[in-house]
Amino acid sequence: MTDRYAVIGNPVGHSLSPRIHAAFAGRTGQDMEYGRLEAPTNGFARAAGEFLGAGGRGLNVTLPFKLDAWRWVDSHDEAAAASGAVNTIVVDGKHNRGCNTDGIGLTRDLLDNLGWKLDGARTLLLGAGGAAQGAIGSLMRAGATLTVANRTKSRAESLAARFGIANAGLDEVDAGWDVVVNATSASVAGIGGLVDPRVVMDSRCYDMFYALDSPTPFCAWATGHGAKAVSDGLGMLIEQAAQAFFLWRDVRPETAGITALLRSDAR
Ligand code: ATR
């Protein structure tokens, strides 16, 4: 019987995950289906329970349910435990394991696809919400020397204290970074310039947000202010999906060429 998976979220209509997992399944010859599951904002537990209760083999979890999922699962992998958010549920008999593949997706894209150096890199992480929280552990494991900066400084302070890293308010950050990662949701509102422009001069800038047909506001802004390199987060989306696929199927899909496929679909 074909194994069923889905991405659960609200809204979920524009999720690229079904397209990405269909490509992985095709490449690896896995017999699986991957759909979309839109749940009411207060209805995560019921929708997830019904899908998995009816034989679903796993779920990806997107906004706004990553915290609901963390509370709902029976156990956490190390990345989920550290980040407080679950983006992948792996079913093992009656046991639902909550995992988080976002952090590893980010560092795989930075290291393997883009070839940026993280070991010893002076790295500035913008934002202190769920996205930033999910990235810190992986960036630290890759050897980055991290500072977290946030508009609301108290959030940066508490995150920094938890992970033993430096922190700042967005308006206090100075120049001199090898890598700058934007984990704020400001791109959604069309805002790219979050810090003094000198901050991105000669640094490599990564936006965890992505856009298929044009540079994101942060990437465009960083390019305009002398960044050495820029990338949006489409590669991270694909790499986090590849890690989820591996957790479910024990097969690692080849990810090369998928960004180009998605960008050409959108044209
Ligand atoms: P997520 O889970 O997607 O990270 P979140 O927890 O709501 O979402 O966090 C959003 C992050 O983007 C926060 O760091 C937020 O800063 P505040 O903590 O000060 O709210 C940041 N953010 C959102 N809009 C922003 C903007 N216009 N300028 C700067 N930071 C912004």
Ligand 1 centroid from CA 187, angstroms: 10
User: Nearest CA to 125 among 73, 217, 203, 34?
Assistant: 203
3-state secondary structure 118-175: CCCCEEEEECCCHHHHHHHHHHHHCCCEEEEEECCHHHHHHHHHHHCCEEEEHHHCCC
- Is this structure's pTM higher than 0.75? yes
Percent share of the chain, pLDDT over 90: 95
**CA pseudo-torsion sign 72, 141, 102, 252:** negative
**198-238: pLDDT as tens digits:** 999 999 999 999 999 999 999 999 999 999 999 999 999 99
Average confidence score pLDDT of the chain: 96
Looking at ligand 1, which residue's alpha carbon is closest to its atom 31? 186
Instruction: Write out residues with Cβ below 6 Å of ligand 1.
Output: 127-132, 150-152, 155, 184-186, 189, 191, 194
Sheet holding 145-150, edge to edge: 166-169, 145-150, 122-126, 179-182, 204-207, 229-231
Residue 9 carries which DSSP code?
E
Whether 130 has a pLDDT exceeding 90, the answer reads: no
Looking at ligand 1, which residue's alpha carbon is closest to its atom 25? 186
Percent share of the chain, pLDDT over 70: 100
* Chain centroid, CA 37 distance in Å: 19
**150-181: pLDDT as tens digits:** 999 999 999 999 999 999 999 999 999 999 99
Ligand 1 centroid from CA 128, angstroms: 7
Confidence of residue 188 (pLDDT cuts 50, 70, 90): confident
Ligand 1 centroid from CA 184, angstroms: 5
Kindly state the helix (H) or strand (E) to which residue 82 belongs, with its residue range.
helix 78-83
The DSSP bridge partners found for residue 179 are: 123, 204
Kindly state the helix (H) or strand (E) to which residue 179 belongs, with its residue range.
strand 179-182
Pairing of strands 32-38, 122-126: unpaired
Query: What is the pLDDT averaged over residues 78-94?
Result: 94
What pLDDT does residue 266 have? Answer: 86
